[in-house]
Structure 1
Amino acid sequence: MNLNATLFAQFVVFFILVVFTMKFVWPPLMKALDERAERIANGLAAADRGKAEMAAAEKRIAAELAATRDESTKRIADAEKRAAAIIEEAKQQASVEAARIIEGAKADAEQQITRAREELRGQVATLAVAGAEQILKREVNAAAHADLLNRLSTEL
């Protein structure tokens, strides 16, 4: 066989292979590559959207945390003010109650002092009368009078 004919036959077979590949094999390969490129692009776009949504969510969370911190700080301050007011009110009530109790105790002490004085006056009067009776029953003797007065003073 001739070399030219062989080359020509190989060229024809190669041309048929190229035409067959371009007509039947190449379109499905290109279609698969295009679909894969589209899926990759969609995945990258979804990842970018997810990142943007995540950043927005983090901003919202940070804002809500700041608002919550502010609100909790405000509530704590209000609670501290209320506690201070309650403590101050309790102190005032305790002061008023203490003053009332002290006044009652002073009045009671005055009454007891008055009663004790009255009892002492009664006892002194009784002792004075008893001493006078004893002095009058005896004869008038200075030594005896002094002795009676000493006993009387020890009884008082």
Structure 2
Amino acid sequence: MNINATLFAQLIVFLGLVVFTIKFVWPPIAKALDERASKIAEGLAAAERGKSDFEQAEKKVAELLAEGRNQVAEMVANAEKRAAKIVEEAKEQASVEAARISAQAKADVEQEMNRARESLREQVAALAVKGAESILRVEVDAQKHAQLLSTLKQEL
């Protein structure tokens, strides 16, 4: 055999193999590689979207936490204001009640004083009548009696 014919036959077989590979083997491999590349690209895009969504979720959670803290602070401030208002109202009511009790006590004291005065007047009048009775029993002098009665009247 001739080396040229063998080389030429090997060249034809090699070229046939290359054509066969390019026509039948390479397209499915290229297709599989393209599909794999697109899946990887989709996965990377999904990961990027997930990362972006995660960052947005973190921001939203931070905003919600800040809003919640603000609402809690506002509620606490409102509760403190309400408590101060309730305390102030209680003080006012206690003040009004104390004034009412004081006025009632003064009125009661005034009534008792008036009763005591009336009782004293009655006792003084009774004593005056007794005194007049005893004076009249001892002697009857109209001028002295009138003077005594006017003195008693002024004292009362």
If the length of structure 1 is used for normalisation, what is the TM-score? 0.64
Cα offsets for 1:23-58 (capped at 9, x unmatched):
111111111111111111111012112201210221
Determine whether 1:65 maps to 2:65.
yes
Deviation at residue 12 of structure 1 after TM alignment: 4.7
Aligned amino acid, residue 73 of structure 1: A
Aligned amino acid, residue 70 of structure 1: N
Which structure carries more relative contact order (alpha carbon 8 Å, separation 6+)?
A: 2
* Map 1:4-83 → 2, pairs under 5 A: 12-83=12-83
Question: 3-state DSSP class of the match of 1:43?
Answer: helix
Cα offsets for 1:39-85 (capped at 9, x unmatched):
11111012112201210221132123213312331232133123202
Question: 3-state DSSP class of the match of 1:104?
Answer: helix
- When structure 1 is superposed on structure 2, of 54-63 and 39-48 the one drifting more is 54-63
- When structure 1 is superposed on structure 2, of 22-31 and 80-89 the one drifting more is 80-89
Aligned amino acid, residue 52 of structure 2: A
List runs of 5+ in structure 1 lacking aligned partners.
134-156
Aligned amino acid, residue 94 of structure 2: A
Deviation at residue 100 of structure 1 after TM alignment: 1.1
List runs of 5+ in structure 2 lacking aligned partners.
134-156
Aligned amino acid, residue 111 of structure 1: Q
Q: Tell me, in whole angstroms, the C-alpha distance in 1 between the residues paired with 2:39 and 2:26.
A: 20
2:148 aligns to what?
A: none
* Map 1:120-131 → 2, pairs under 5 A: 122=122
Structural RMSD (CA): 3.7
Question: 3-state DSSP class of the match of 2:35?
Answer: helix
Aligned amino acid, residue 20 of structure 1: F
Q: Tell me, in whole angstroms, the C-alpha distance in 2 between the residues paired with 1:12 and 1:124.
A: 161
Deviation at residue 107 of structure 1 after TM alignment: 1.2
Cα offsets for 1:106-156 (capped at 9, x unmatched):
2113313432453466467668978xx9xxxxxxxxxxxxxxxxxxxxxxx
- When structure 1 is superposed on structure 2, of 74-83 and 8-17 the one drifting more is 8-17
Deviation at residue 93 of structure 1 after TM alignment: 2.1
